[in-house]
Structure 1
Amino acid sequence: MTATTAYDPSNIFARILRGELPAQKVYEDDRALAFLDIMPRCPGHALVIPKTPARNILDIDPDDLAHVAKVAKTIAIAAKAAFQADGITVQQFNEEAGGQVVFHLHVHIIPRHLGVPMKPPASEMEKPEVLAEHAARLRAALAEDAARQRAALAG
């Protein structure tokens, strides 16, 4: 490993976690945050990140990775409903050679429709009002899913 593989606390996602940069948040708990990608490859493209500093899958604590995976599943289910998607693409990249651009572990959740290609990565910044509307749709779907789960537990 080289010195370039160290975690950099000034990365954009660390700055979002500290509240230094804005984000369209759709989910947050004590261990993870989900927010919309500002350059989405498809409408509803979300990112799930751990709150603990982790460069990628190679250095994250296994329990933190498991929590990120659980949140990613929750976001995927809600995104499929919110965007009437035919499927979901889940992506996670590690190190520059593996396609990683931001060096804080993150999982992409991308709603997909048959026959509709994804935009190229980092190709077009979405309008803030569109991101706000997409975030509202995703938060509503998350709330509906949580309500269904509570009702099922209540019997």
Structure 2
Amino acid sequence: MDIFSKIAAGEIPSYKCAENEKFYAFLDINPVAKGHTLVIPRREVDYIFDMDDDELAEFEVFAKQVAVALKKAFPCKKVAQVVLGLEVPHAHIHLIPMNSEGDVDFRKEKLHLPNEEMQQIADKILAEFSK
């Protein structure tokens, strides 16, 4: 079981932002912006395009719902969707509040937020998602 599967199963703590029976969203612990959220399928699949069409469509709709909640929790011009990363063999989408393209630069220094603030951010997104 990979690290993201363990997070979705509750075996590793995370800052939960949204979930349903098929997908899970949680804060990135190395965010490029406040509210930077990862969205994953609960099913272990390494490459997003290995998902069958129906599952991929459901995944995108769930990510959209999380993005809507994220934009309400952290007003911004848009929520960026980025699919990248080879470090974890589990499909995932990055959702990042942005007011400029520079807000989505993964090369810049990551934010280091205290646990309490991370929990407040996650709670704010989860509250919007749950409405």
TM-score range, shorter chain: 0.7 to 0.9
Structure 2: runs of 5 or more not aligned: none
Bigger Rg over Cα: 1
Aligned AA (1:101): E
Match of 2:87 among 97, 101, 126: 101
Q: CA RMSD in A?
A: 2.0
Match of 1:86 among 71, 77, 89: 77
| TM-score, reference length from structure 1 | 0.74
| Correspondence for 1:64 | 55
Give the superposition deviation at 1:45: 0.7
Quickly say closer, same or farther: Cα 1:56–1:67, change in 2 above 3 A: same
Quickly say closer, same or farther: Cα 1:118–1:127, change in 2 above 3 A: farther
| Correspondence for 1:128 | 115
| Correspondence for 1:46 | 37
3-state secondary structure, aligned to 2:67? helix
| Correspondence for 2:99 | 113
3-state secondary structure, aligned to 2:51? coil
| TM-score, reference length from structure 2 | 0.87
Report if aligned partners of 1:79, 1:85 keep a CA contact under 8 Å in 2.
Answer: no
3-state secondary structure, aligned to 2:12? coil
Moved over 4 A (4+): none
Structure 1: runs of 5 or more not aligned: 1-8, 94-98, 145-155
Give the superposition deviation at 1:125: 4.4
If asked which structure has higher relative contact order (CA below 8 Å, sep 6+), I would say 2
Aligned AA (1:135): A
Distance in 1 between the 2:117 and 2:91 partners?
Answer: 25
3-state secondary structure, aligned to 2:49? coil
| Correspondence for 2:5 | 14
Q: In percent, how many aligned pairs have the same letter?
A: 33
Quickly say closer, same or farther: Cα 1:116–1:129, change in 2 above 3 A: farther
Aligned AA (1:134): I
Quickly say closer, same or farther: Cα 1:140–1:19, change in 2 above 3 A: closer
